[in-house]
């Protein structure tokens, strides 16, 4: 690939950080006129000397961002930001790249095309997703953890979303641990997590928020609907002797339901108070939040 003096200058600026990037040159219409051979190694095929349009390499969900960067470069603005996008690849596998685009100018300053650097970021995105999962996932049950639960509840409150919060606590969990050992206790937690996944709706968000405590966000659900859903969880668990380790244990849970309203703290407080009442009344039951008193 031959470059003018201006192209070489732009190229060196783009490659200051790495030597493993893919170089793409387009005309003013955004049509690729040259691409370095590395583009094929990244799963993208340039089919001819004057190849496809740059945006033809970009999957639909990333096209707007890359299009804005391309337009800015064609207008003569220096693109300092890297733009991430999913690419269109021959095997239809989702593959992510980042691209930075700069204008190519003649001696008089007129723009005659753009020069882009593109690199694969699949590995970096994979590491980022793994870090996200480690930060917001409970490793034992693979449910979301308390941090994720708090974030999602805050979002629902801030957006004014209708719904309910349910809380569950496995009854006599400390006794199970002491009598049967922590390994059995861990298996009890996994069994209950699987039951919640099986019985709750796909839109419901299940989290483990403490040792033996679970929270469920039920979006677009009124208290009557939430009560029916959570009552089935409590009664189904009580009716089953769950296979845990080498034996079958009678596992029960206490539960509560509160409407998501006012604030995150208020919602959690009302659900926790109802859960305390369920335990105080003998466990293995569901309690609804107490109705508010109306001042005279």
The residues assigned a catalytic role are 212
Pair of tokens at residue 6: 């201006």
Helix, strand, or coil here: 296? coil
Tally of CB atoms within 10 A around 70: 22
List, in order, residues 6 or more apart from 6 with CB less than 8 Å away.
104, 105, 106, 107
**What single DSSP character describes residue 160?**
T
DSSP bridge partners of 53: 31
Q: Are 49 and 61 spatial neighbours (Cβ–Cβ below 8 Å)?
A: no
For residues 116 and 170, give the distance between their C-alpha atoms in angstroms, rounded to a whole number.
57
DSSP collapsed to 3 states, 48-99: CCCCCEHHHHECHHHHHHHHHHHHHHHCCCCCCCCEEEEECCCCCCCEEEEE
Structure tokens at 160: 């004014």
Cα–Cα distance, 174 to 20 (Å, whole number): 56
Q: 186-210 burial, b for 16+ CB within 10 Å, e for fewer? A: ebbbebbbebbeeebeeebbbbbbe
């Amino acid at each position: 690939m031959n470059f003018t003096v201006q192209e070489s200058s732009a190229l060196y600026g783009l490659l200051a950080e790495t030597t493993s990037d893919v170089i793409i040159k387009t005309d003013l219409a955004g049509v690729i006129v040259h691409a370095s051979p590395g583009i094929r190694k990244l799963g993208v095929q340039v089919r001819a000397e004057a190849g496809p349009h740059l945006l033809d390499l970009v999957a639909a969900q990333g096209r707007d961002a890359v299009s804005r960067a391309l337009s800015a470069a064609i207008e003569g603005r220096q693109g300092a930001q890297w733009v991430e996008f999913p690419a269109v690849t021959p095997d239809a596998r989702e593959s992510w790249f980042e691209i930075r685009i700069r204008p190519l100018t003649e001696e008089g300053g007129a723009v005659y095309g753009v020069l882009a650097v593109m690199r694969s970021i699949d590995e970096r995105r994979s590491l980022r997703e793994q870090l996200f999962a480690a930060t917001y996932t409970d490793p034992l049950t693979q449910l979301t953890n308390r941090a994720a639960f708090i974030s999602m509840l805050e979002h629902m409150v801030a957006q004014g979303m209708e719904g309910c919060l349910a809380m569950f606590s496995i009854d006599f969990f400390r006794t199970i641990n002491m009598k049967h050992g922590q390994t059995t206790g861990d298996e009890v937690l996994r069994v209950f997590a699987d039951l919640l996944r099986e019985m709750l709706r796909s839109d419901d968000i299940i989290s483990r928020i403490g040792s033996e405590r679970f929270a469920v966000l039920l979006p677009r659900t009124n208290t009557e609907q939430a009560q029916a859903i959570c009552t089935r969880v409590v009664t189904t668990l009580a009716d089953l002797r769950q296979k845990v380790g080498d034996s079958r244990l009678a596992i029960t849970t206490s539960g509560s339901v509160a409407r998501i309203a006012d604030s995150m703290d208020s919602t959690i407080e009302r659900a926790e108070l109802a859960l305390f009442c369920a335990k105080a009344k003998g466990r293995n039951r569901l309690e609804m939040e107490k109705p508010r008193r109306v001042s005279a």
